[in-house]
Amino acid sequence: MLLEATSVLKKYYGYDSFRKGQAEAIESVIAGENSLVLMPTGGGKSICYQIPGLLAEGTTLVISPLISLMKDQVDSLNSMGIKATFINSSLTQEEVKNRIHAAHNGEFKLIYIAPERFESPQFRSLLQSLNVSIIAVDEAHCISQWGHDFRPSYRTLRLAINELSTKPVIVALTATATNEVIQDICKLLSISDEHIFSTGFKRKNLLFSIEKGVDRTSFITNYVKQHKDKSGIIYASTRKDVESLSNHLQKSGIKVGKYHAGLSDQDRENAQNMFLYDDVHVLVATNAFGMGINKSNVRYVIHYQLPKNIESYYQEAGRAGRDGEESECILCFAPQDIQLQKFLIEQTQLQPDMKKKEYQKLQSMVDYCHTEKCLQDYFIHYFIQDVSDQTCGNCSNCMDEREKVDITKDAQIIFSCIKRMNERFGVTLVAQVLKGSGNKRIKEFGFQQLTTYGLLKNYPEKEITFRIQFLLAEGFLKLSEGQYPTVSLTKRCVPVLRNEEKIFQRSLRQPESVSQINDGLFELLRKVRKEISSIENIPPFVVFSDSTLREMSEICPQNLDDMLEIKGVGEQKLAKYGQRFLDIIVDQIEKHGHQPTKEVVTSVKNMKNEHPSFLETYERYKSGQSLHEIAKGRELKIITIQNHIIQAIEAGKQIDWETEFSIEEEKLILETYDKVGSEKLKPLKDLLPDDIDYFKIKLVLAKQKLGTMTKTLA
């Protein structure tokens, strides 16, 4: 059965192997066991129900609360040649009936349905006519009232499932669930412990970091400018913040979209689509944005303020890097955010015990900002309590090698100044007193008489403010509640004032770029993808994901056979789009001599295909055909044929070197190669006479490589 599943994986999705947890979960569902799949966002949960769905007779119903996502998911499946549709509130009653009727005739393998539908007995009775073999419950944490997105309509699911005469297998899937929620899901959907498949929640490609004590508007502006071609979401807590931050970014020359519940439906939809279709790279939004977003190439998610709890943060930040590419999740923290979140909790109509729970959750969020432990590990401990400590090695705490500066003396001065101001003023005025400012308020209160007045005059006022914010974040100082918070000391100051404890602060961080693209090929492929997306009116990532394009740019397939080896290229997509992407790659190789930086194609192909394409070319070459004759005979481009010969040499096949280049030419190429000192062909070609073409250069270099290898082996 797994063999069949593997061939479906290759045929439709273009992937060679299952990821961790997928095969086990698929086997369990195929074996008819109700199962729970716990995988991080981007971990590949969809395949765990789609492949069993494709292999099973009958129809798979996918229950998903993400209505706006359904169309994309269905488009994506259709583009791979899988028959699927959706039923949600965007359809008329008539359309729903038609789709069910078509499903009855076996036209769809998968149907995506919103949970609310199950509340209608009429709809449930319509379902009776279907041969439902599997029910996939996506975002299964919504079924639990302990989950952060509890949907009461999920509770009617059980009833609907019981009513179905086909007794379908249930597969529940989620990326965020505490132990409490997991137990709830299992109880409600009759899933036993041995059918829980968990790969944990860790997202290795996400680089979590916290920015404390920075001027967040400037930080974000700089960050966005440095990552201007990357897609990113910036979450802010209030509509007002979304408005002011997006205005600021616009004024700084950055094209941004904005999204919050105060905008019209039309404006929100436009903003979402522009972001989805890569027409605008940055979206500033409240948490109203995201539930329905499956954009896979979001390279960063920045939180302008503290979110309300870890569950929300992990879900929002988790919208980065769904395609598995490295992406950043940055949380800008300032202590005053806590007051805002407390205020928002107070505004809710929650019962006292639920309110208390919200406060506890907020505290865990604040602790996340203070911890010096691995940030990924913090999430794991939060979601699954009984696990041992681990480090991810790539979050800001694990990676932080910045020099820590001893700021004890400055901190003592700050504490002392706050004390002398009777702990009755805000951060700005404290900073101004320490700076030695002569402003009216300082004179009014006679603060220029304080012994701490002007003691930090050598620092810019902004830096003094940063220091105070850092001390607040570290818990040495605290802010009062209310509109004009005043800053006061906590008991953590005592050992510092007694010189029993030192305080270190890291120097300010310069954001680094997430990943460098080795050349322009990736960008060109993205452009083609954008063109296709505009013509076909589907989001770019439905055509191919970033990681698929990245792999194309690294491997440089030069024919459709090789292209099929790229992860994410299935037969259907190959037939539809393959040639357009291939043309760009071949063109770039001809123009710039761009070389593959990865050789996955060759190795994979050699393993799987007993008579690979390059061997066919090599045999014809050995039988005396010229390269042009072979190209014509095999209906391949000459450059492909030339590369086959190089591949054959690399695979250990012999050729007669003298027929391809003279000793003088070889010497000249090697001397020039030494001078250029690079593997790049273009600079080499530019320095050589015109009659020495790329193929000759590649042959000479391949010969030299063989020589070096033989020497090393000897």
Binding residues vs ligand ADP (CB under 6 A):
15, 18-19, 22, 39, 41-47, 296, 322-324, 545, 567
Shortest Å distance, C-beta 85 to ligand ADP: 19
Shortest Å distance, C-beta 404 to ligand ADP: 37
Specify whether the CB–CB gap between 140 and 158 falls below 8 A: no
Q: What number of other Cβ atoms are within 10 A of residue 252's Cβ? A: 15
The H-or-E segment that residue 59 falls in is: strand 59-63
Q: Is the CB of 544 or the CB of 621 nearer to ligand ADP?
A: 544
Closest CA to 525 of 599, 571, 594, 598: 594
25 Cβ contact partners less than 8 Å away, ≥ 6 residues apart: 35, 37, 48, 171, 197
In angstroms, rounded to a whole number, what is the distance separating the alpha carbons of residues 416 and 411? Answer: 8
Q: What number of other Cβ atoms are within 10 A of residue 225's Cβ? A: 13
306 Cβ contact partners less than 8 Å away, ≥ 6 residues apart: 237, 331, 333, 334, 337, 338, 340, 341, 365, 366, 369
Shortest Å distance, C-beta 166 to ligand ADP: 25
Specify whether the CB–CB gap between 128 and 163 falls below 8 A: yes
Q: Is the CB of 140 or the CB of 338 nearer to ligand ADP?
A: 140
Specify whether the CB–CB gap between 300 and 328 falls below 8 A: yes
Q: Is the CB of 45 or the CB of 696 nearer to ligand ADP?
A: 45
> 3-state class of 3 per DSSP?
helix
Shortest Å distance, C-beta 561 to ligand ADP: 20
Shortest Å distance, C-beta 140 to ligand ADP: 12
Q: What number of other Cβ atoms are within 10 A of residue 447's Cβ? A: 23
Q: Is the CB of 465 or the CB of 548 nearer to ligand ADP?
A: 548
For residue 167, give the DSSP letter. -
Shortest Å distance, C-beta 22 to ligand ADP: 6
Q: Is the CB of 293 or the CB of 427 nearer to ligand ADP?
A: 293
Q: Is the CB of 305 or the CB of 315 nearer to ligand ADP?
A: 315
In angstroms, rounded to a whole number, what is the distance separating the alpha carbons of residues 593 and 596? Answer: 10
Q: Is the CB of 135 or the CB of 249 nearer to ligand ADP?
A: 135
Q: Is the CB of 22 or the CB of 60 nearer to ligand ADP?
A: 22
Q: What number of other Cβ atoms are within 10 A of residue 89's Cβ? A: 10
Shortest Å distance, C-beta 293 to ligand ADP: 11
Q: Is the CB of 199 or the CB of 640 nearer to ligand ADP?
A: 199
Q: Is the CB of 19 or the CB of 637 nearer to ligand ADP?
A: 19
Q: Is the CB of 15 or the CB of 466 nearer to ligand ADP?
A: 15
Shortest Å distance, C-beta 173 to ligand ADP: 7
Pairing of strands 231-235, 298-303: parallel
Shortest Å distance, C-beta 42 to ligand ADP: 5
Query: What is the secondary structure of 245-268 as a DSSP string?
Result: HHHHHHHTT--EEEE-TTS-HHHH
In angstroms, rounded to a whole number, what is the distance separating the alpha carbons of residues 609 and 285? Answer: 49
- With both helix axes pointing from N to C terminus, report the angle between 310-317 and 375-383 in degrees, rounded to the nearest 10: 130
Specify whether the CB–CB gap between 291 and 171 falls below 8 A: no
Q: What number of other Cβ atoms are within 10 A of residue 527's Cβ? A: 12
Where would I find the H helices in 651-693? Answer: 657-660, 663-676, 681-687
